[in-house]
Amino acid sequence: MQLARIPRSGIGQRPPVSCWPHPDAPRPRHHTCSREGTSMSDVSKRRLRLHVLASATTIAIASMCALPALSAGRVDTSGLQSAEQQGFDRFIVKYREGSTERSNAASLDSSLRSATRAIPAKSGRALQVTALRRLAVGADVVRADRKLDRVEAESLMRQLANNPNVEYVEVDKLNKPLFTPNDTNFSQQYGFGTGAGGIRATEAWDITSGAGTVVAVLD
């Protein structure tokens, strides 16, 4: 007796799945199907989305980590080391060109109020900082309503610098000219002085001494 052979493809096998609507329909030149019936272009799109999301997350985390460093770099605390000053109440704040603080007094006042919230109140009175005037370089001179110690002053400066529109913050301190010529006959050289016919050389020397430059050699 001979047994009829039954094709293996007809028993217990899953029919092939096509991702194309009809086998006789024309297909795009670069179209391919995956084993699950999903086009490879869809898989590539999903991978691209994941890659973009991962990249965006990395950039965001890096930016957040960089913010403290940028803030610290905009604060010049050298003026807090002055031994002559017993307290600090005047500061110079430079806001970026085009920022609302540069063009709108209300925005400037709001920025100053926001920075003072981190400073503890004294005698039940919160610290207040107001703008006095704008310098020729575009920076604003601001003043606190009381003297601050070094810790309070530095804290206020860093709070001001937390505003991304701030370029720098420094102490508004009085600089005194300390340079005196060592020429014993300097007082007799009227042409260098500030009197009639004088060129006010001492004021020029406050800017530069001219070291390394030869103006003239007379024999």
pLDDT in tens, 17-35: 555 555 565 655 555 554 5
pLDDT in the model for residue 2: 56
Name the residue among 128, 138, 127, 126 with its Cα closest to residue 92.
138
Instruction: Identify whether the C-beta of residue 111 lies closer than 8 Å to the C-beta of residue 64.
Output: no
- Range from 133-137, 188-192, 201-205 that averages highest in pLDDT: 133-137
Q: What percent of the chain has pLDDT over 90?
A: 36
Burial class (CB in 10 A: 0-12, 13-18, 19+), 116: middle
pLDDT in the model for residue 61: 66
| pLDDT greater than 80 at residue 41 | no
pLDDT in the model for residue 204: 80
Average pLDDT over residues 95-121: 93
Those residues whose C-beta lies under 8 Å from the C-beta of residue 117, and which sit 6 or more positions away, are: 159
Specify the range with the lowest mean pLDDT, choosing from 6-20, 81-95, 103-117, 193-207.
Answer: 6-20
pLDDT in the model for residue 26: 60
**Would you state the torsion angle of the CA atoms of residues 17, 21, 26, 28, taken in this order, to the nearest 10 degrees?**
-80
The SS3 assignment for 103 reads helix
pLDDT in the model for residue 21: 55
| pLDDT greater than 50 at residue 192 | yes
H or E element: which one contains 176? none
Burial class (CB in 10 A: 0-12, 13-18, 19+), 22: exposed
| pLDDT greater than 80 at residue 89 | yes
Cα separation of the two ends of the chain = 136
Q: Give residue for tokens 């530095």.
A: 154
| Cα–Cα dist 149/155, whole Å | 10
Model confidence at 6, pLDDT cuts 50, 70, 90, reads: low
pLDDT in the model for residue 218: 79
CB atoms within 10 A of CB 167: 14
Model confidence at 69, pLDDT cuts 50, 70, 90, reads: very low
| pLDDT greater than 70 at residue 177 | no
Instruction: Identify whether the C-beta of residue 138 lies closer than 8 Å to the C-beta of residue 94.
Output: yes
Instruction: Identify whether the C-beta of residue 51 lies closer than 8 Å to the C-beta of residue 43.
Output: no
pLDDT in the model for residue 70: 47
The residue that leads in pLDDT, 46 or 96, is 96
pLDDT in the model for residue 85: 76
Give this prediction's pTM.
0.51
